[in-house]
Amino acid sequence: MSVGDVFFLVAAVVALVGAVWTIASQSPIRSALGLLTTIVGIAALFLRLNAQFLAAIQLIVYAGAVVVLFVFVIMLLGPDAGAVSKRPARARGSRVASAALVFVLAVLLVVSLVGAQPSPTKFRAVSPEYGSVEAVGQLLFSRGLVPFELSTALLIVAAIGAIAVARARHTPKRVKAGESPTRRLFHGPLHPRDAGRPLPKEGLL
């Protein structure tokens, strides 16, 4: 086994263990850590596939932004985030659907392992520029320019929408009317003679 084989095996096992950890652990913070593990494993697989730029983007966007966002929300919710539901589980349909999915996956795995060719075609060698920042960036700014700009619009709309949805609803507060130095400064009597007199009523101003 070469170094690349060991690298693939380690990264694949890390990604799989992280995925199982994500969906199986009771506490959401552990699920977030499992998601982080999967993301790091998949970033390593991207490196094995000569996609250096995407590996970096994967680490920056997922590990740096998405997982941190999850952790922030879990911290904001506090112990309620990991509470155990008091309702009895009723969703039989989704359990049946997930069992069917696992069955289909198992059948596919068996079929593909039994029918595997003894010598499948290997990846061909690629030039060192393949998957580099320069090459992918050139593609993004030539053929993918319109979707790239649209994705920037999508991100800004999503950020504003997230703020609008998550913001607490405040009832508008009444401005307290009364004696205040600011009110006296801007609306009070101008002459020093009137300094001791009460301020005029609200409606007069």
Using CB under 8 A as the binding rule, whether residue 75 contacts other proteins is answered as no
DSSP letter string, 132-198: -HHHHHHHHHHTTHHHHHHHHHHHHHHHHHHHHHHSPPPPPPPPPPS--HHHHHHHS-SSGGGTTSP
**Selected range binding other proteins among 139-147, 172-180, 187-195, 196-204, rule: CB under 8 A:** 139-147
- 17 is a contact residue toward other proteins (CB under 8 A): no
Within residues 185-204, the interface with other proteins by CB under 8 A covers none
User: Does the footprint of other proteins cover residue 37 (CB under 8 A)?
Assistant: no
**Residue 112 engages other proteins in binding (rule: CB under 8 A):** yes
Dihedral sign of CA atoms 78, 84, 89, 95 in order = positive
Q: Does 118 bind other proteins (CB under 8 A)?
A: yes
Check residue 114 for interaction with other proteins (CB under 8 A). no
Taking the complex as a whole, how short is the minimal distance between the CB of residue 173 and other proteins, in angstroms? 19
Phi, psi angles (nearest 5°) of residue 136: -65, -40
Asked whether position 56 contacts other proteins by CB under 8 A, the answer is no
Task: Assess contact for 40 and 14: CB atoms under 8 A.
Answer: yes
Of the candidates 155, 177, 180, 200, which one interacts with other proteins according to CB under 8 A? 155
Tell me which residue of 76, 39, 82, 79 sits closest to 166, measured CA to CA: 76
- C-alpha to C-alpha distance for 63 and 32, rounded to whole angstroms: 10
The phi, psi pair for 169, rounded to 5°, reads: -85, 115
Segment interacting with other proteins (CB under 8 A) among 17-25, 171-179, 183-191, 196-204 = 17-25
* Least distance from other proteins to the Cβ atom of residue 177, Å: 32
Closest C-alpha to 15, from 41, 45, 46: 41
Residue closer to other proteins, measured from CB, 76 or 195: 76
CB of 95 to other proteins, least distance (A): 7
Q: Is residue 74 within the footprint of other proteins (CB under 8 A)? A: yes
Q: Judged by CB under 8 A, does residue 110 bind other proteins?
A: no
